[in-house]
Amino acid sequence: MQAHKGEIVKLATVTVVTFALAAIAGVGAQAPAFKRTVLQQGDISVPGREAVTAVAEFQPGSSPGRHSHPGEEVGYVLEGRVLLEQEGKPAVTLNAGQPFLIPAGTIHNATNTGATTARVLATYIVEKGKPLTTLAATK
């Protein structure tokens, strides 16, 4: 009977330690600062081009960094507020409900300037077979 009680105590201790470690690991886990989720991708009527539709989520203060796309980006702010910076144009603040257009190859960045998560829906009409995003050199 004593050995059986000892095994129960060991099992209980291992269980408590396992849950404690899982809880500690969970505390440090956070949503990524910027995340792009592709919703659909497919051929269009223009040879060599495809349409990619995605949702981008930005945590407060985050941005994807300066980048470009091998085609146009047509978007709409679903939630929150972002500061859109495009080379050669003045920066503009976009709020939920506002659309935007970024010409092909234009280096740009968007930063969540709000206090909550910002979500943007974007459709890219891009050259097929090329990476959707190319990071730009830092200034």
Q: How confident is the model at residue 32 (pLDDT cuts 50, 70, 90)?
A: confident
Q: How many domains does the chain have?
A: 2
Could you give the strand order of the β-sheet that contains 67-68, starting from the edge strand earlier in sequence? 92-95, 81-86, 108-112, 67-68, 134-135
Any idea which residue has 């985050």 for tokens?
Answer: 62
Query: Residue 79: is its pLDDT beyond 90?
Result: yes
Same domain for 75 and 18: no
pLDDT tens digit string along 88-121? Answer: 999 999 999 999 999 999 999 999 999 999 999 9
Same domain for 96 and 121: yes
CA distance 62 to 114: 10
Full residue range of the structural domain in which residue 23 is found: 1-30
Angle at 37 between CA 63 and CA 46, to 5 degrees: 105
